[in-house]
């Protein structure tokens, strides 16, 4: 349980729209890449926000792994919008996740370079992030998210603006993150099935493993 995201009878209601989601029941384990699929409006993003603690369930409980240290996050995000520091180097963008919790050490610098290597950007550390392609920018976002050390990595439509070949590279980068986290990806992109350990469909407001 300590290495899992556990959803136990979780429901949520958008009162103004009179829309209800759940109950959600699932255990998503450390070391897994889990895909959440479903049509627009099915509640994929809502489920990620609940897991992150940005929304409060109407009922049920959500258990997440604890942060690995008191000054580190429990959850990291990768979204469609990369929000990179375009004038800074690729390495500096990864170090953003580390600088938020203190001055980077020599070990932190080595970790940042390793995270870049993990997503195939090991030779790009000194380049400006503005020079990267769309797929490279998304892989940089994966490296940045993992560098913060969060045990839960949430990706919301990370390939929504990319072509098929580029999307596969981003999904492979997310695959590398599972050595340190449970990775949960909300997506329409069926290419995720080639790398996911488990795939869930959102149907009629419920979570069904497929």
Residue 108, phi then psi, degrees to nearest 5? -65, -40
**What are the Cα distances from residue 154, in Å, to 88, 103, 125, 197, 204?**
24, 25, 24, 15, 22
d(CA 126, CA 183): 28
CA proximity to 154, closest of 82, 79, 77: 77
- What's the burial of 179, exposed, middle or buried (CB within 10 Å: 0-12/13-18/19+)? exposed
Distance in angstroms (rounded) separating the CA atoms of residues 91 and 89 = 5
What digits encode the pLDDT tens for the residues 8-29? Answer: 999 999 877 678 888 999 999 9
Is the dihedral angle over the CA atoms 158, 159, 161, 167 positive or is it negative? positive
Looking at residue 2, its pLDDT comes to 60
pLDDT of 17: 67
Q: Is the pLDDT of residue 36 over 90?
A: yes
pLDDT digits (tens, 9 = 90+) for 189-206: 999 999 999 999 998 778
Q: How far from 68 is each of 26, 145, 152, 181, CA to CA, in Å?
A: 23, 14, 11, 11
Domains of the chain: 30-54+66-209 (3.40.50.300)
Write down the pLDDT at residue 29: 93
Q: Return d(Cα 197, Cα 174) in angstroms, integer.
A: 12
| 124 in Cβ contact with 116 (< 8 Å) | yes
Which pLDDT tens digit goes with each residue over 37-93?
988 888 999 999 999 999 999 999 999 998 877 777 889 999 877 788 888 999 999
Q: Higher model confidence: residue 185 or residue 22?
A: 185
What are 90-107's pLDDT values in tens digits?
999 998 877 766 677 888
Residue-wise pLDDT tens digits, 112-140: 899 999 999 999 999 999 999 988 998 99
The residue count of the chain comes to: 210
Task: Summarize the confidence of residues 145-149 as an average pLDDT.
Answer: 86
pLDDT > 90: what percent of the chain? 52
Where does the pLDDT of residue 1 fall: very low under 50, low under 70, confident under 90, or very high at 90 and above? Answer: very low
């Amino acid at each position: 349980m300590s290495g899992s995201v556990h959803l136990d009878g979780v429901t949520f209601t958008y009162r103004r729209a009179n829309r209800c989601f759940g109950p959600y029941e699932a255990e998503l384990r450390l070391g897994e890449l889990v895909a959440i699929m479903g049509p627009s409006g099915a509640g994929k993003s809502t489920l990620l926000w609940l897991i992150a603690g940005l929304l409060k369930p109407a009922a049920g409980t959500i258990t997440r792994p604890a942060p690995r240290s008191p000054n580190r996050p429990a959850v990291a995000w990768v979204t469609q919008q990369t929000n990179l520091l375009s004038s800074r180097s690729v390495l500096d963008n990864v170090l953003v996740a580390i600088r938020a919790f203190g001055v980077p050490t020599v070990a932190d610098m080595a970790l940042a370079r390793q995270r870049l290597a993990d997503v195939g950007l090991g030779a790009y550390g000194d380049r400006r992030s503005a020079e990267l392609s769309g797929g490279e920018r998304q892989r940089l976002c994966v490296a940045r998210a993992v560098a913060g050390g969060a045990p839960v990595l949430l990706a919301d439509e990370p390939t929504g603006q990319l072509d098929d070949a580029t999307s596969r590279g981003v999904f492979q980068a997310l695959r590398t993150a599972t050595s340190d986290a449970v990775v949960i990806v909300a997506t329409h992109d069926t290419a995720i099935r080639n790398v996911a350990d488990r795939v869930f469909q959102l149907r009629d407001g419920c979570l069904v493993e497929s």
